[in-house]
């Protein structure tokens, strides 16, 4: 039995935002409250959504304050204006981590008033949250006995961006890595992308969800026209749908490929050729998404690196209960795809050790961490 603890979680992403980091923070808050711990959350508070949660789960949600820096709108515009916006957006991101840099200051200011916690969990992205915690946490003001900086990829060593980070940001990353007691990542192999002097602090804590909260449509689905889906973000270098779409365009067979994404740019060139065979949809709430995925014949996972990645979409796919076709890189296996289109799922992705993704087990791991100097 874990003693009841006083816990502080810092995350700019939280319900109702639809993102892996939001799911991370939301599930941790709910489960730690279910277990009877005293939980405080620092986030951008939205009363309409968060006040009911405070009442239901007895969590105290504190507001980081008004967001004064806003992203540059690049979804609209054309020609020279759009080009200028894109260049400005990238320049500000590269030079000063705009607009997320604001969080470093907001977190530092908010943490001046916080102390006496047993456990502090800061959740990235953005990494500027960790930078703010590192700035605020001192020997005279430790805030909590133990600080866990929860990450996915590192900031400086990320492989998700084709642009290298400016050299001076390494001092910010090293500062938080030096001060944090633990750095949690979803896959321990990710530690090779962090600075070597901090790798002994890195621990594996995967994404977690409350399995019992998921509702799917029961029964075995076999649509007259094969339906398959992908949900998530596309990245040109790591998770590029182009090879898959190039092959789908050549097929005479009827099908429906449904994609839930906020990054449709790589799909649009193929929409004319595929017509109604390709359906592009925006993100929907996670419970609704899993229910829709449960009606597909099979699901697609692209650019999977089984050593370094533990994408949360695979948990959703597992809960949806449909066969998963997973490609470990951007080059697809056409023969395997043909088999799935003929309802041969004998080589479907094999899920293992799914118990580790239960939020109860994830929370137990977090709550079991003690300060490295504790006897």
Q: What is the pLDDT of residues 293-348, one digit of tens each?
A: 999 999 999 876 655 556 677 888 999 989 999 887 667 899 999 999 999 999 99
Question: Is 375 a domain residue?
Answer: no
pTM for the predicted model, two decimal places: 0.87
Between 278 and 286, residue with greater pLDDT: 278
CATH of the domain at 265: 3.40.50.2000
Does 229 lie in the same domain as 189? no
Question: In total, how many domains does the chain have?
Answer: 2
Between 303 and 271, name the one with better pLDDT: 271
Same domain, residue pair 40 and 163? yes
- Work out the mean pLDDT of the chain and round it to a whole number: 90
What is the residue range of 99's domain?
6-210+358-367
Q: Residue 38: inside a domain, yes or no?
A: yes
- Tell me, yes or no, whether 326 lies in a domain: yes
pLDDT of 75? 64
Residue with the larger pLDDT of the pair 89 and 107: 107
pLDDT (mean) for 215-233 = 81
Q: For residue 258, what are the β-bridge partners?
A: 229, 279
> Within a domain: residue 146?
yes
For the segment 65-93, the average pLDDT, to the nearest whole number, is 82
Alpha-carbon distance of 295 to 374, in angstroms, equals 50
pLDDT band, very low/low/confident/very high, at 236 (cuts 50, 70, 90):
confident
1 belongs to a structural domain = no
Look at residue 249 and tell me whether its pLDDT is greater than 60.
yes
How far is Cα 22 from Cα 14, in angstroms, rounded to an integer?
4
Asked if residue 23 is part of any domain, the answer here is yes
Say if residue 131's pLDDT is above 90: yes
Q: Is the pLDDT of residue 16 over 80?
A: yes
User: How much is the pLDDT for 201?
Assistant: 95
Same domain, yes or no: 336 and 224:
yes
Please indicate, yes or no, if residue 197 is contained in any of the structural domains: yes
User: Are both 182 and 256 inside the same structural domain?
Assistant: no
Residue at 169 is within a domain:
yes
């Amino acid at each position: 039995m874990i003693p009841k603890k006083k816990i502080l979680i810092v995350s700019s992403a939280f319900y109702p935002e639809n993102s892996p980091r939001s799911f991370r923070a939301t599930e941790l808050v709910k489960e730690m409250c279910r277990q009877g711990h005293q939980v405080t959350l620092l986030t951008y508070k939205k009363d309409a959504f968060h006040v009911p949660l405070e009442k239901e789960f007895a969590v105290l949600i504190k507001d980081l304050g008004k967001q004064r820096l806003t992203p540059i709108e690049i979804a609209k515009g054309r020609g020279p204006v759009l080009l200028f916006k894109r260049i400005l957006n990238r320049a500000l991101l590269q030079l000063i981590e705009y607009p997320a840099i604001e969080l470093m200051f907001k977190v530092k200011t908010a943490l001046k008033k916080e102390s006496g916690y047993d456990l502090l969990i800061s959740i990235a992205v953005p990494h500027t949250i960790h930078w703010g915690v590192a700035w605020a946490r001192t020997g005279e003001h430790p805030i909590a006995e133990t600080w866990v900086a929860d990450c996915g990829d590192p900031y400086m060593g990320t492989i998700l961006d084709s642009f290298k980070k400016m050299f001076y940001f390494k001092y910010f990353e090293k500062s938080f890595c030096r001060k944090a007691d633990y750095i949690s990542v979803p896959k321990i192999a990710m530690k090779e992308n962090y600075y070597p002097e901090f790798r002994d602090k890195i621990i594996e804590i995967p994404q977690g969800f409350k399995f019992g909260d998921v509702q799917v449509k029961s029964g075995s689905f076999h649509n007259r026209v094969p339906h398959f889906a992908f949900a998530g973000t596309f990245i040109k270098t790591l998770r590029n749908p182009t090879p898959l779409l190039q092959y789908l365009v050549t097929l005479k067979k009827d099908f429906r490929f449904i994609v839930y994404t906020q990054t449709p740019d790589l799909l649009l060139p193929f929409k004319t050729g595929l017509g109604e065979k390709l359906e592009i949809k925006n993100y929907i709430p996670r419970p609704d998404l899993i229910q829709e995925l449960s009606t597909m014949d099979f699901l697609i996972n692209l650019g999977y690196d089984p050593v370094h990645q533990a994408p949360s979409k695979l948990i959703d796919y597992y809960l949806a209960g449909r066969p998963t076709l997973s490609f470990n890189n951007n080059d697809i296996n056409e023969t395997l795809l043909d088999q799935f289109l003929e309802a041969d799922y004998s080589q479907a992705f094999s899920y293992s050790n799914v118990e580790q993704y239960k939020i109860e087990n994830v929370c137990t791991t977090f709550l079991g961490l003690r300060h490295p100097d504790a006897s």
